[in-house]
């Protein structure tokens, strides 16, 4: 029986490089762009996703000048990605008037 949780069925070391917000990011070949962004802590506004299957369309990013769903996009390497929000909304953790989160409590004051 395999270990609990998620694991990759792809061979280790088979990686591609994409440029995310002007900095390189290594992704395992065959992994969705959203998974790579989340694992690399490089999501920007694309972290505002809900379903991870393309229905909510909240993980929109710009890849090579085209708007794509990060959860349904599998880079081949060499692509350029901008994680800014397509509709100029702030990332979900930035809400005007919201109180700052206290990491020790895991919530606001």
Average pLDDT over residues 56-68: 86
Residue that has been written with the tokens 């270990």 in this structure? 3
What is the total count of domains within the chain?
1
Let me know if residue 5 belongs to a domain.
no
* Residue 72 backbone phi and psi in degrees, to 5: -110, 10
pLDDT at 78: 96
Mean pLDDT for the chain overall: 75
DSSP code string of 19-70: EETTEEEEEETTS-HHHHHHHTT--GGGG--SSSSSSS---EEEETTEEEEG
Residue 32 sits in a domain whose CATH number is 3.10.20.30
Average pLDDT over residues 67-92: 81
Closest-CA residue to 39 (of 26, 49, 50): 26
Cross-strand bridge partners of residue 102: 107
Let me know if residue 41 belongs to a domain.
yes
Let me know if residue 103 belongs to a domain.
no
Confidence of residue 99 (pLDDT cuts 50, 70, 90): low
Domain that holds residue 31: 15-82
Let me know if residue 34 belongs to a domain.
yes
């Amino acid at each position: 029986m395999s270990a609990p949780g998620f694991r990759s069925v792809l061979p280790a070391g088979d990686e591609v490089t994409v440029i995310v917000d002007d900095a390189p990011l290594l992704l395992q070949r065959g992994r969705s762009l959203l998974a790579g962004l989340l694992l690399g802590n490089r999501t920007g506004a694309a972290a505002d996703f809900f379903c991870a299957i393309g229905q909510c369309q909240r993980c929109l990013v710009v890849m090579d000048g085209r708007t794509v769903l990060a959860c349904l996009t599998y880079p081949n390497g060499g692509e350029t990605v901008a994680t800014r929000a397509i509709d100029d909304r702030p990332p979900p953790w930035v809400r005007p008037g919201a109180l700052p989160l206290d990491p020790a409590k895991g919530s606001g004051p």
